[in-house]
């Protein structure tokens, strides 16, 4: 048995529990999002943004931060199993979908991995349902609270060994570690309100977290290496891009399901998976809305911001999340010629919610707010107002860049999901 899951709590995070200010403070996002960039002249139209700037920014984020996505990628759908046709008090069906992801970098060989997707669909739907796709810290049998789902234990294949790995989020005792885990994730991360989503007309899908890349620096790096033969050390992808690609491969499948509305696919992630969700949305236009909760550094928060998690510390601890090139150069990260508002701008004009908590200074809510402000001109090109508010605590679920902050710390609580669903109701 290989035990693999990197801790989500960091000492720095626990030391940063003071309330953040609710007025934006600090330097505005640089460079201005529509300004000349890498020899591309100022952007003045939605067409210019789409045709010229988007490809340049996608190349920049791959080359300098997340590493490159595979050149080719496809799925082979296995036998879909109906696990329950009467779940959640008779309101939903639950299906288990095996997806074999095939990827290829350059002229390298094709590499395959099979992941599992669990999918709950409302039975009362009279037309295709919008769907919320989540990637979570927890195995899917725990988040779905359904005995029919297999244990989320996964096989891992490494260059010289194979093994099984598992993780649990369910609090089975009250050891200090378990209390810390529950405190860190919040109860609603372990059990999101699936029944309420179904009642409100949403389908809910979840990727079993361990099936593709294990979130543990050394093992994760080895797996990434296996999955990206054909790329050299400087160009190969990190786990965030691999998770983002996994979101996209799940969307390949969801978009073919006739009971789901391919025009209303939302993806959701918390913390490191929120970083991945933003990357997925930025690179995949079929994703119709993104909820990125507490994504922090490497996600929505500006890298140049001096508050919260230092970039160098993040890449030292989680070097597998990024490209090797970025991990190497993080000591100089303040000099990178781009910043995370340009990642948010890649979502324009699609709706995005940036979730935050007041005592989660580690994730730098203020840096995320300034990034949202910095992304706005790209939204305006499409006739959207983008972020409509001026303070961090003025939640506007109708806005295309909705900024949400609540009291408390890092994790997912009931109010978060009320805000997320209000936001999706407003846009879908």
Backbone angles phi, psi at 270, to 5 degrees: -115, 135
CB of 63 to ligand GCU, least distance (A): 21
| From candidates 271, 303, 323, 342, binder to ligand GCU by CB under 6 A | 271
Q: Which residue, 70 or 298, is less far from ligand GCU as judged by CB?
A: 298
Could you count the other beta carbons within 10 Å of the beta carbon of residue 17?
Answer: 15
Q: Which residue, 140 or 362, is less far from ligand GCU as judged by CB?
A: 362
| From candidates 186, 296, 367, 386, binder to ligand GCU by CB under 6 A | 296
Segment 356 to 395, residues that bind ligand GCU, using CB under 6 A: none
Residue 136 sits in the site that holds ligand GCU (CB under 6 A): no
CB of 219 to ligand GCU, least distance (A): 17
**Residues of the chain by 3-state class (helix, strand, coil), percent to 5:** 35, 20, 45
Residue 330 sits in the site that holds ligand GCU (CB under 6 A): no
Residue 314 sits in the site that holds ligand GCU (CB under 6 A): yes
Residue 309 sits in the site that holds ligand GCU (CB under 6 A): yes
CB of 123 to ligand GCU, least distance (A): 34
Q: Give me the residue whose beta carbon is nearest to ligand GCU.
A: 271
- CA–CA gap between residue 166 and residue 148 (Å, rounded): 18
Segment 210 to 229, residues that bind ligand GCU, using CB under 6 A: none
Q: Which residue, 284 or 309, is less far from ligand GCU as judged by CB?
A: 309
DSSP 321: G
List Cβ neighbours of 98 (8 Å cut-off, separation of 6 or more): 77, 78, 79, 80, 114, 115, 116, 117
Please check whether residue 13 is in contact with residue 411, taking contact to mean a CB–CB distance below 8 angstroms: no
Residue 293 sits in the site that holds ligand GCU (CB under 6 A): no
CB of 295 to ligand GCU, least distance (A): 7
Any idea which residues carry the catalytic annotation?
Answer: 271, 410
Please check whether residue 33 is in contact with residue 205, taking contact to mean a CB–CB distance below 8 angstroms: no
Binding segment toward ligand GCU, per CB under 6 A, in 6-14, 74-82, 108-116, 281-289: 6-14
Cis amide linkage into residue 293, ω under 30° from 0 = no
Binding segment toward ligand GCU, per CB under 6 A, in 5-13, 147-155, 194-202, 392-400: 5-13
Please check whether residue 111 is in contact with residue 229, taking contact to mean a CB–CB distance below 8 angstroms: yes
CB of 236 to ligand GCU, least distance (A): 21
CB of 297 to ligand GCU, least distance (A): 5
Taking CA atoms, 394 is separated from 20, 64, 380, 387, 415, in Å, by 14, 34, 20, 10, 15
Count residues contacting ligand GCU (CB under 6 A)?
Answer: 9
**Among candidate residues 417, 419, 402, 392, the one with its CA nearest the CA of residue 350:** 402
Chain centroid offset of residue 110 CA = 25
List Cβ neighbours of 328 (8 Å cut-off, separation of 6 or more): none
- CA–CA gap between residue 139 and residue 154 (Å, rounded): 10
Tokens of 119: 């999918």
CB < 8 Å & 24+ apart, contacts of 196-200: 196/417, 196/421, 197/120, 197/132, 197/421, 198/88, 198/91, 198/92, 198/120, 198/122, 199/91, 199/122, 200/421, 200/425
Residue 8 sits in the site that holds ligand GCU (CB under 6 A): yes
Binding segment toward ligand GCU, per CB under 6 A, in 8-16, 32-40, 139-147, 371-379: 8-16
Q: Which residue, 223 or 294, is less far from ligand GCU as judged by CB?
A: 294
Residue 167 sits in the site that holds ligand GCU (CB under 6 A): no
Binding segment toward ligand GCU, per CB under 6 A, in 7-15, 29-37, 73-81, 217-225: 7-15
Residue 189 sits in the site that holds ligand GCU (CB under 6 A): no
| From candidates 53, 113, 121, 272, binder to ligand GCU by CB under 6 A | 272
Q: Residue 418 is inside which H or E element, if any?
A: helix 414-427
Kindly list the residues in this chain that would bind ligand GCU in the complex (CB under 6 A).
8, 10, 13, 271-272, 296-297, 309, 314
């Amino acid at each position: 048995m290989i035990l693999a899951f990197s801790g989500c709590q960091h000492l720095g995070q626990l030391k940063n529990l003071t309330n953040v200010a609710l007025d934006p403070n600090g330097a505005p996002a640089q460079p201005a999002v529509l300004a000349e960039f890498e020899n591309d002249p100022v952007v003045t139209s939605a067409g210019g943004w789409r045709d010229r700037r988007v490809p340049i920014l996608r190349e920049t984020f791959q080359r300098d931060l997340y590493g490159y996505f595979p050149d080719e990628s496809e799925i082979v759908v296995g036998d879909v199993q109906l696990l329950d046709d009467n779940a959640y008090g008779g309101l939903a069906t639950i299906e288990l979908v095996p997806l074999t992801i095939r990827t290829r970098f350059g002229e390298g060989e094709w590499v395959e991995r099979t992941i599992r997707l669990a999918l709950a669909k409302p039975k009362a739907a009279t037309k295709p349902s919008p769907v919320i796709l989540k990637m979570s810290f927890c195995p899917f049998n725990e988040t779905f609270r359904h005995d029919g789902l297999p244990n989320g234990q996964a096989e891992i294949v490494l260059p010289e060994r194979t093994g099984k790995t598992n993780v649990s989020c369910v609090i089975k005792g009250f050891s200090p570690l378990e209390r810390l885990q529950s405190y860190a994730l919040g109860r609603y991360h372990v059990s999101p309100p699936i029944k309420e989503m179904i009642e409100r007309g949403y389908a809910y899908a979840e990727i079993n977290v361990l099936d593709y890349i294990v979130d543990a620096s050394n093992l994760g790096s080895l797996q990434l290496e296996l999955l990206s033969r054909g790329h050299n050390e400087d160009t190969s992808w990190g786990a965030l891009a691999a998770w983002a690609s996994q979101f996209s491969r799940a969307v390949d499948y969801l978009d073919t399901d006739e009971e789901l509305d391919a025009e209303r696919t939302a993806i959701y992630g918390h913390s490191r998976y929120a970083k991945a969700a933003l990357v997925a949305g930025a690179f995949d236009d079929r994703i119709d809305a993104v909820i990125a909760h507490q994504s922090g550094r490497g996600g929505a928060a500006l890298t140049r911001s001096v508050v919260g998690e230092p970039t160098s510390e993040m890449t030292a601890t989680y070097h597998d999340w990024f490209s090797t090139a970025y991990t190497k150069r993080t000591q100089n990260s303040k000099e990178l010629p781009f910043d995370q508002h340009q990642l948010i701008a890649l979502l324009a004009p699609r709706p995005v919610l940036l979730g935050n908590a007041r005592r989660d200074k580690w994730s730098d809510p203020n840096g995320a707010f300034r990034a949202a402000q910095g992304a706005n001109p790209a939204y305006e090109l499409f006739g959207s107002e983008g972020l409509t508010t001026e303070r961090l605590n003025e939640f506007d679920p109708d806005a295309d860049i909705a900024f949400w902050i609540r009291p408390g710390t890092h994790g997912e609580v009931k109010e978060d999901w009320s805000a997320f669903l209000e936001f999706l109701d407003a846009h879908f």
